[in-house]
């Protein structure tokens, strides 16, 4: 072989080797990239599944079992405090609260949508509360219920009971989205009639829809065994006091609309808006315990709700209209 032929062969082999290298790179790219893409897709799908598993509406909550560890046992104790409050906070003549349960208003242990649920609340607090005109902790908010809805007194924020209640709320909130309020929290929105509440109509609604559980006298049905009520009293000495949120007409009407009579839900209500409005006014027209120092509520009176049933107010509207509407002011 001549020197010229050898040089040509060498150049040919070099070119062939570069072609082979290029083919190898191309094949590797074509084979590996789909696998990598599929792996990324699986990771994305997994992330989407995890996101889909988050609760975005309280109605999606499913009953959970607490872990068999110190936190789980504390949460379980908190659940008992919520559902059977009267067995723990009512002792003979010493009234730490009335004989209602937290779940008298926070239905199903605080897990029912639009019944002031606890689900997701640990993502909300601390938060501003107009009644105190300050940012409050969840412990302070719970004590507000003890002093008003339970017509009792606050419990120490570092007590076992408070820690148990907060741990319970934390555990039922664990799978919720962690950005602000959850859909289904608080009470349902409804059309508020542009008129004063009709107490006579409210009485008719009460007699037709409420007496089978709460009695003709509104005093509920005591438990056959236990200190509390199977169905709570709606007025009188063992009901919420006049400083409670439920003593406000619009708040009570919104609660009733989505939850009463028993079996009603936010998406299958049993009462019309005007029925809920009038029966709430009828219920709140009766005597109930008086909250002391409630005139100190809402230091910034411009934050006071229109349906607050007690003065002072930032306007010249009568107490009667604040209690019964119309709320066109």
- At 9-28, the pLDDT tens digits run 556 556 556 655 555 555 55
Tens digit of each residue's pLDDT (9 = 90 or more) over 148-184: 999 999 999 999 999 999 999 999 999 998 778 899 9
Tens digit of each residue's pLDDT (9 = 90 or more) over 211-241: 999 999 999 999 998 889 999 999 999 999 9
223/134 same-domain check: no
Which token pair is 232?
Answer: 């709570």
72/153 same-domain check: yes
Least confident of 5-9, 89-93, 107-111: 5-9
Length of the chain: 329
Query: How many structural domains compose the chain?
Result: 2
Measuring CA to CA, which residue among 81, 131, 109, 126 is closest to residue 304? 131
- With vertex at residue 116, the alpha carbon angle to CA 313 and CA 193, rounded to the nearest 5 degrees, is 55
DSSP 200-263: HHHHHHHHHHTHHHH-TTS--EE-SSSSSEEE--SSSTTS--TTSGGGSHHHHHHHHHHH-STT
Domain residues for the domain of 281 are 199-299+316-324
CATH code where residue 249 lies: 1.10.760.10
Query: What average pLDDT does range 92-118 have in this prediction?
Result: 89
168/253 same-domain check: no
218/166 same-domain check: no
210/292 same-domain check: yes
- Position 92 confidence tier, pLDDT thresholds 50, 70, 90: low
pLDDT the model gives residue 26 = 53
In a domain, 66, yes or no: yes
209/261 same-domain check: yes
Last residue of a domain, one of 156, 172, 188: 172
63/159 same-domain check: yes
> With pLDDT > 90 as the criterion, what percentage of the chain qualifies?
78
pLDDT the model gives residue 225 = 85
Distance CA 288, CA 265 (A): 27
Q: Spell out the residues 6+ positions from residue 204 whose beta carbon is closer than 8 angstroms to its own.
A: none
141/216 same-domain check: no
Q: Which residue has the tokens 């028993």?
A: 262
* Contact present, 300 and 131 (Cβ < 8 Å): no
In a domain, 274, yes or no: yes
In a domain, 9, yes or no: no
- Position 46 confidence tier, pLDDT thresholds 50, 70, 90: very low
In a domain, 177, yes or no: no
Residue 40: pLDDT over 70: no
In a domain, 180, yes or no: no
166/218 same-domain check: no
Q: Spell out the residues 6+ positions from residue 116 whose beta carbon is closer than 8 angstroms to its own.
A: 105, 106, 110, 185, 186, 187, 255
pLDDT the model gives residue 52 = 59
Residue 49: pLDDT over 50: no
pLDDT the model gives residue 154 = 93
Q: Spell out the residues 6+ positions from residue 21 whose beta carbon is closer than 8 angstroms to its own.
A: none
Distance CA 288, CA 117 (A): 24
In a domain, 209, yes or no: yes
pTM metric for this prediction: 0.83
Distance CA 174, CA 67 (A): 13
Distance CA 248, CA 148 (A): 12
207/269 same-domain check: yes
In a domain, 33, yes or no: no
| Burial group, residue 59, by CB count within 10 angstroms (0-12, 13-18, 19+) | middle
Last residue of a domain, one of 132, 155, 172: 172
75/152 same-domain check: yes
In a domain, 305, yes or no: no
220/320 same-domain check: yes
pLDDT the model gives residue 97 = 82
């Amino acid at each position: 072989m001549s020197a010229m032929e050898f040089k040509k062969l060498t150049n040919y082999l070099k070119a062939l080797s570069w072609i082979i290298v290029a083919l190898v790179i191309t094949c590797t790219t074509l084979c590996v990239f789909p696998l990598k893409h599929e792996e990324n897709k699986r990771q994305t799908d997994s992330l989407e599944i995890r996101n889909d598993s988050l609760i975005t509406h309280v109605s999606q909550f499913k009953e959970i079992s607490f872990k068999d560890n110190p936190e789980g046992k504390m949460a379980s104790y908190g659940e008992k405090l919520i559902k059977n409050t009267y067995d723990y906070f009512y002792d003979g003549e010493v009234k730490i609260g009335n004989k209602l349960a937290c779940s008298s208003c926070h239905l199903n242990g605080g897990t029912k949508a639009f019944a002031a649920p606890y689900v997701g609340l640990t993502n909300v607090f601390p938060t501003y509360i107009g009644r105190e005109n300050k940012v409050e902790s969840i412990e302070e908010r719970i004590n507000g219920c003890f002093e008003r809805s339970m017509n009792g007194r606050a419990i120490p924020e570092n007590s076992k009971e408070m820690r148990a209640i907060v741990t319970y709320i934390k555990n039922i909130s664990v799978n919720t989205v962690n950005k602000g309020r959850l859909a289904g929290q608080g009470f349902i929105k409804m059309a508020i009639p542009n008129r004063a509440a009709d107490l006579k109509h409210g009485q008719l609604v009460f007699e037709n829809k409420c007496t089978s559980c709460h009695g003709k006298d509104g005093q509920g049905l005591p438990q056959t065994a236990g200190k509390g009520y199977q169905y709570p009293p709606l007025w009188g000495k063992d009901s919420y006091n006049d400083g409670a949120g439920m003593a406000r007409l619009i708040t009570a009407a919104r609660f009733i609309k989505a939850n009463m009579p028993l079996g009603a839900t936010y998406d299958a209500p049993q009462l019309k808006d005007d029925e809920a409005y009038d029966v709430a006014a009828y219920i709140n027209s009766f005597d109930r315990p008086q909250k002391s120092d409630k005139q100190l509520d809402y230091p910034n009176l411009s934050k006071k709700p229109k349906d607050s049933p007690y003065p002072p107010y930032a306007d010249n509207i009568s107490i009667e209209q604040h209690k019964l509407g119309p709320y066109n002011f």
